[in-house]
Amino acid sequence: IQLAKNITNSSENSWSSYDIDNIRIVVGLDNLLWICLWSCLFTTNNLSYMDHFYFKTCTALEYDDEYNKVITWDFPAKRNKNNNKPVELFKLHLSDIPDELKPKLPVGYEKAITDYLREIGQAIKDDLSRHWDSLNFYKDVLLVLTCTADYLENASLIMRECVYNAGLIVNICSSKLQFGTEGENIHY
């Protein structure tokens, strides 16, 4: 996290340092407590088009018996018929609430967040590749994630590490990942 903090604070990763011409698609991910909304905006010839207004997914994961591998996610994880309860509400661990109010999880919250981001990230990649054949996700896509005001100070650093571990950025310091509050992200 310290490495990400040092680089995130550097001027090299400011909005002005973007190679904005290489960003073809902006994916906004509003990762709420129970559901996650994502939308996609793409640009061509200096015109912007909203392709998908949003997709709504449930922030729940179902793991195998050892909690090593995700069996299913989204709404199917809530309807599971197995003995394992779905892992959910993991984002509460990033909020500034007392620890006794945070849910007990059978896996670490960072693993749950990473696994969830890996699953939704694959769904996003699959959807984008159906629409754009020549898309290079790591080069052409800007990810914008929402952080709420009650997040811990280092929550965006933890999220950055989770996004990296989920394989959605190629380096932990990537400028292709940005964070903003709900109000800031409305402008995207």
CATH of the domain at 154: 3.30.420
HEC readout, 61-85: EEECCCCCCEEEECHHHHCCCCCCC
Domain membership of residue 57 as a residue range: 2-185
pLDDT in tens, 103-117: 999 999 999 999 999
Q: How confident is the model at residue 36 (pLDDT cuts 50, 70, 90)?
A: low
Q: Over 70: is that where the pLDDT of 152 sits?
A: no
The total number of structural domains in the chain stands at: 1
Q: Which of 126-130, 164-168, 182-186 has the highest mean pLDDT?
A: 164-168
Q: Structure tokens of 167? A: 């394989």
CB 4, CB 173: distance < 8 Å: yes
Q: Over 90: is that where the pLDDT of 40 sits?
A: no
